Structure 1
């Protein structure tokens, strides 16, 4: 066992995250969780994947441990390592190990950012074995009955160098996510930022124009998250054009022509 006792309650989401359902994704996920099926969420940046996982963890009453994956993440960052202290060495569980021990949902956000040799450690947890070998400790963890693994990634960033192996993909059930329909997204932006529906609707219209430019000068469209940021600034008294420039233009691109195009879209609705 680990040298530290972890209280699962610290990973429980106490207040319900706001999430607007757009289809049958809630029922599908519940069924997948009941089968303890590993789940892969695929969709563009800022479309609500992480919020959905938080919402479902709260709805199911399960602890949630989230890991933001990056290219420097090692297998030890996920499973754990020995640490030196005044008494010598002690083992420190990583987030994946902690989740497997306590029966949490472990969410690996943007897993494609992690090196492939790192993601291989999840394989034994995502098939009939449901085990996690800790080679450095000589321990084999049997995953808690409530444990589930969820990963997300953005297919728009796929490349030969950055994609999941088929041997990894085929261990998961998959759910596609996209930006919500206009009416739903307007309601989300209004609720999350506090601006009125008319202002939220204008922000969504700008986003739709920008998303049409994806692949034609923009790598990514404007995310729902950025629309909420814009609404929050407007709610704080920032002039709408300045708020949109800060949240919906400057973060997206450095290309002068693309910025002019986005500025023009902002001017159309707030000029």
Structure 2
């Protein structure tokens, strides 16, 4: 493994992921056809965990890029670096995955500028190529390369959306929060809390999710529930854990906090 350029991105242990439908088989089919994949869903509903699990299942390295509005095309494809002996080219994460056969995961891709994400176009059609204009090189994607992107449709706007020419290059999954029993299993497996405690946290989460669009931009994510469960395992009371990990991070609005506090007290 010492000569493996992607050794740092290989996933050694299987991430816990509980399938909700047939998404595992469908992702495997997309990978077999070397089709790029787009994963859409609310924050904290398991998109990144699913991608991580599939990379482990397919035994491929996973290079994750957290996209942001300051990211440039050079941040993805690479740049020349100045060194005492001269200049040296360094591949960016997209070029590294394309050259050596990893899965490149662009998380929250709509946060990146559209002129930045255009660089993925030649990789996501029949060409499977990445031109490195500054270096004068054309990377022909490794047979094992795949591109995966994700974003939250709830944050879409005219300024933050994928161009149709980008969107229509991908196969897609729609993700949502799991059913109560599945989410309870996730919480218990991740943190060790009892099923009864997990269902109490989920009852609070469902109350919060019903407020989405009625004051809350986003519902209460599974990630927040996991944080609360870890506090409970550490000896924190259910009420304090819900306040610290679920209610306060979700909103600063006093009325919404009161409504969520009533939900917590009803569960307790």
Does the TM-score normalized on the shorter chain lie above 0.5? Answer: yes
Task: Tell me which residue corresponds to 1:15.
Answer: 13
Deviations for 1:113-159, whole angstroms, at most 9, x for unmatched residues? 11111100000000001000000000010000000000001001111
SS in 2 for 1:241: helix
Task: Tell me which residue corresponds to 2:30.
Answer: 32
Q: Residues of 2 paired with 1:88 and 1:258: CA distance? A: 58
Cα deviation, residue 6, structure 1: 5.6
SS in 2 for 1:259: helix
Task: Tell me which residue corresponds to 1:93.
Answer: 91
Task: Tell me which residue corresponds to 1:242.
Answer: 240
Task: Tell me which residue corresponds to 2:70.
Answer: 72
User: Which sits farther off after the overlay, 9-18 or 127-136?
Assistant: 9-18
Task: Tell me which residue corresponds to 1:219.
Answer: 217
Give the paired residue count: 266
Q: Residues of 2 paired with 1:168 and 1:78: CA distance? A: 16
SS in 2 for 1:250: helix
SS in 1 for 2:130: strand
2:114 is matched with which residue: 89, 113, 116? 116
* Gap runs ≥5 in structure 2: none
Cα deviation, residue 194, structure 1: 1.2
Task: Tell me which residue corresponds to 1:48.
Answer: 46
Q: Residues of 2 paired with 1:190 and 1:254: CA distance? A: 29
Cα deviation, residue 191, structure 1: 1.0
Cα deviation, residue 240, structure 1: 1.4
Deviations for 1:63-83, whole angstroms, at most 9, x for unmatched residues? 111111111111111011111
Cα deviation, residue 202, structure 1: 0.5
Task: Tell me which residue corresponds to 2:55.
Answer: 57
| C-alpha RMSD of the superposition | 0.9
Q: Residues of 2 paired with 1:248 and 1:116: CA distance? A: 33
Counting only pairs closer than 5 Å after superposition, residues 118-267 of structure 1 correspond to structure 2 as 118-267=116-265
Q: Residues of 1 paired with 2:264 and 2:233: CA distance? A: 17
Q: Residues of 2 paired with 1:260 and 1:80: CA distance? A: 49
Q: Residues of 1 paired with 2:59 and 2:135: CA distance? A: 31
Instruction: Give TM-score, length-normalised by structure 2.
Output: 0.98
Q: Residues of 1 paired with 2:259 and 2:68: CA distance? A: 32
* Gap runs ≥5 in structure 1: none
Q: Residues of 1 paired with 2:184 and 2:73: CA distance? A: 41
Cα deviation, residue 10, structure 1: 2.4
Cα deviation, residue 9, structure 1: 2.7
Q: Residues of 2 paired with 1:260 and 1:6: CA distance? A: 54
- Say if 1:6 and 1:84 are closer, same or farther in 2 by CA, change over 3 A: farther
Instruction: Give TM-score, length-normalised by structure 1.
Output: 0.96
